[in-house]
Amino acid sequence: MSYSDLWLTSAPNISNILKDQTPKVSVFGVPFDATSTYRSGSRFAPNAIRDAFLNVEVYFREFDVDLEKVCIEDLGNLKQTGSVQSMVVAVQRVTEELRQMNKVPAILGGEHTLTYASYAAMKGASLLIFDAHLDLRDEFADLRLSHATYLRRLLEEEAPAEAIVIGARAASKEEWKYAERRKVKIIPPPQDTSLEEYVKEVKSTVGQKSVYVSVDLDVVDPAYAPAVGNPEPGGLTSRELLTVLTALKGCRLLGFDIVELAPIADSGSSATLAAKVLALLIALASM
């Protein structure tokens, strides 16, 4: 062993390799933000989330799951590209390979276009999205496939078993009509209901299915997570988001992504929330 092998690391890395255990969750980053139309910079998010993850508590008392005892592998980041097509191919093939190995892909974006590629490997799974926006535009900024159109492309091409969007509150008139026509289930942010009633509504809608979860951080109100690509007032609180995610216990989590963190606009609070979401979803996937 050389001194380089002994002392140098590829930090930040959140692998937790345990003796005689095979990793169930495989983390990889997608540093891609080429279709961002407001705040760019989500290509820097994977490492920002890792940095925060290494500094949040990872024991979940409600599940009695301690991630220090869970085998996790961090595969690093995909090679950076400005091509939507190159990113889609890479994400889809890596995700498919991990699923064939019976591993849960935990993907750190990057912007939301990546979900178009990662969900393609989740045959038969319900698609559960946390997002302020519907992302159902037919075209935006002269792009047919982007962070604002990926869900429309998925509905046209992959036909998810079920598409549920939690926290949606911002879309064009045509998107709302399209969502109704395609029977997308939409649960807007809680208004006059208690958090307990809101969680019941989510649980009754989602049920106990095989799910792929995509968390766009702009689902959270900018007061709690200001550093996102397209902030939208009127969203969930950070507590509401974590409580609703906790209620997914009982679902079979096949994979997930966390997208749209823009670290350049962050004081650290948004990355910390993203890291807590990552830890919570790993805990759910490991049960």
- The domain limits of the chain are 22-286
CATH class of 22-286: alpha beta
| Pair of tokens at residue 283 | 């805990």
- The pTM score is 0.96
Indicate whether 181 pLDDT > 90: yes
For the chain, the residue count is 287
pLDDT of residue 1: 66
**Mean pLDDT, residues 211-217 taken together:** 98
Indicate whether 110 pLDDT > 70: yes
What is the rounded distance in angstroms from the CA atom of residue 66 to the CA atom of residue 50?
17
Per-residue pLDDT tens over the stretch 253-272: 999 999 999 999 999 999 99
In angstroms, what CA-CA distances link 65 with 15, 224, 250, 283? 17, 26, 14, 6
Q: What DSSP designation does 38 have?
A: S
pLDDT of residue 209: 87
User: With 0-12 CB in 10 A as exposed, 13-18 as middle and 19+ as buried, what is 19?
Assistant: exposed
Indicate whether 8 pLDDT > 90: no
What is the rounded distance in angstroms from the CA atom of residue 215 to the CA atom of residue 154?
16
